[in-house]
Amino acid sequence: MSCTTIEDNFSDYLEDSLPAKLRQSVADHLRSCPNCQREFDLFQQSVSALQQLPEIEPSAFFDTDLQIQLALTEMMPPPERVPILDQVGGKFWQLIGSWRWVVSTVLAFVVIAVYLMATRIDVVLVSSSEKQSNPQVQSIEKRDLVDEDSDSFPFSSDSMFDPAVEIQQNYVFPTVTYSALSTGGRL
Amino acid sequence: MPRNSIENEFCLDDRLMLQCQKGEAEAFNQIVQRHRTALVTFIARLLGDRETAEDLAQESLLRMYRAANRYKAEGSTKFTTWMYHIASNLCKNELRNRNRRQRHFMVQTDDQLRLDQDLIATAPADPALQPDQQLVKKEQQSAVQNAISLLPETYRLPLVLRDIQGLSYNQVSATLKLPLGTVKSRINRARLMLKDLLKPVVSPTER
């Protein structure tokens, strides 16, 4: 046994709770190493000094103070602590009993999952409905088709007679095309 | 104390708690009389402050009284561990509050400044010792109390429960809700720290 590990066994050695073989090796080491023997003596003295500390008697007012506080407790019993789940769910949680935390955790996960799915669906719906409802996007797509097929005049016949739409189309055209390219069709 | 006697003591606590559950106020008074000194000693040695110790001992007893109906008598050492568990939790809160106050104000609190003075002053003098020996003994007790207060909370609690309150390792483990191995290693580590702190005071040549 080395000097560094012997300290780990000081308490067990002092209280005589080491297995016989280990106890013998600790005793052998202490006999052969004066430094460790001195440390163990200090250890023993410290524990002894600690155990000899006297008891501390409560003051003369301790009982009186306590009786007053007990009487106050009797007069004003503390409000019954209702668990937060019982406050929220009432009888439902009481019926579930000890499974309440499992059930509440599962419910929490379900709520989170539903929320995530809803937001995901929302994004998909918005991106697809925008295509359907936004005439500018449709017209841009038409224009793309026209551009691919031929070099003829790009605007549809409906918008040709409305100058305002035409201006808006020209304004929106590069933005939508750019975002459609970079996000793969989603806004 | 013989084993049978110890078991009877524990059973007496359980019996008193059962009577308390039936509404017999006198039963709780008996519990207070039996354990108040142990509680005050435990908390005072842990915190190094008698006044706070009395307050927290009273608070522990009040909590025990309020929770008496939920107490289930299971014999053995249940009552002692239950009592020290309640007191330990209050002490942990107090130590945490003190640390917070210290961090905020960067000064020693009054509690620490008057550490151990009243604890040592009230210790009964040993009539077998000469006045100078009594003085030396009181100085040693003061040094031990100071050394306890310098230990980290995680080591201080099991050490006080084991070496001052005299609980077994199993009882300390049940009180602090820690594995037995952890408790044993913390107590050994705490004793080693204490040995280093008390080196100037405790002399191995006293043997």
A46/B198 CB distance under 8 A: yes
In this prediction, the answer to ipTM > 0.85 reads no
For residue B51, tell me if it sits in a domain: yes
Helix (H), strand (E), coil (C) string for A59-126:
CCCHHHHHHHHHHHHHHCCCCCCCCHHHHHHCHHHHHHHHHHHHHHHHHHHHHHHHHHHHHHHHHHHH
Q: Does B109 touch chain A (CB under 8 A)?
A: no
- In this predicted model, what pLDDT tens digit does every residue of A126-149 receive, in sequence order? 666 665 655 555 555 555 544 444
Distance CA A22, CA A27 (A): 9
Which chain A residue has its CA at the smallest distance from B123's CA? A54
A62/B57 CB distance under 8 A: yes
Percentage of chain B exceeding pLDDT 70: 77
CATH number at residue B34: 1.10.1740.10
Q: Are A1 and A25 in contact (CB under 8 A)?
A: yes
Q: In terms of pLDDT, which residue wins out, B154 or B119?
A: B154
Total domain count for chain B? Answer: 1
Distance CA B98, CA B94 (A): 6
pLDDT at B206: 45
A62/B145 CB distance under 8 A: no
Average pLDDT over residues B78-91: 92
- In this predicted model, what pLDDT tens digit does every residue of A34-82 receive, in sequence order? 999 999 999 999 999 999 899 999 988 888 888 888 888 777 665 566 6
pLDDT at A181: 53
Amino acid (one-letter) located at A182? S
Which pLDDT band, with edges at 50, 70 and 90, does B76 fall under?
A: low
Distance CA A129, CA A187 (A): 12
B195/A39 CB distance under 8 A: yes
pLDDT at B46: 93
For residue B129, tell me if it sits in a domain: no
Q: How many Cβ contacts (< 8 angstroms) between chains A and B? A: 108
pLDDT at B107: 47
For residue B93, tell me if it sits in a domain: yes
Average pLDDT over residues A18-32: 91
Which chain A residue has its CA at the smallest distance from B185's CA? A8
Which pLDDT band, with edges at 50, 70 and 90, does B1 fall under?
A: very low
- Measure CA B192 to chain center: 19
Q: Which of A43-57, A87-101, B66-80, B188-202 has the lowest mean pLDDT?
A: A87-101
Which pLDDT band, with edges at 50, 70 and 90, does A99 fall under?
A: confident
b/e per residue B94-113 (b: at least 16 CB within 10 A): bbeebeeeeeeeeeeeebbe
> Which residues from B are below 8 Å from A12, CB to CB?
184, 188
Percentage of chain A exceeding pLDDT 90: 26
pLDDT at B103: 67
A39/B163 CB distance under 8 A: no
> Which residues from A are below 8 Å from B163, CB to CB?
47, 50-51
- In this predicted model, what pLDDT tens digit does every residue of B19-67 receive, in sequence order? 888 888 788 899 999 999 999 999 999 998 888 999 999 999 999 988 8
Instruction: Give me the domain span that covers residue B13.
Output: 1-115
B140: nearest CB among A39, A49, A51:
A49
Domains of chain A, by residue range, sit at 3-51, 101-183
A46/B195 CB distance under 8 A: yes
A49: nearest CB among B50, B65, B198:
B198
A56/B122 CB distance under 8 A: yes
Distance CA B126, CA B134 (A): 7
Distance CA B58, CA B123 (A): 21
Distance CA A91, CA A82 (A): 12
Q: Which of A23-32, A47-56, B132-141 has the lowest mean pLDDT?
A: B132-141
Distance CA B199, CA A17 (A): 25
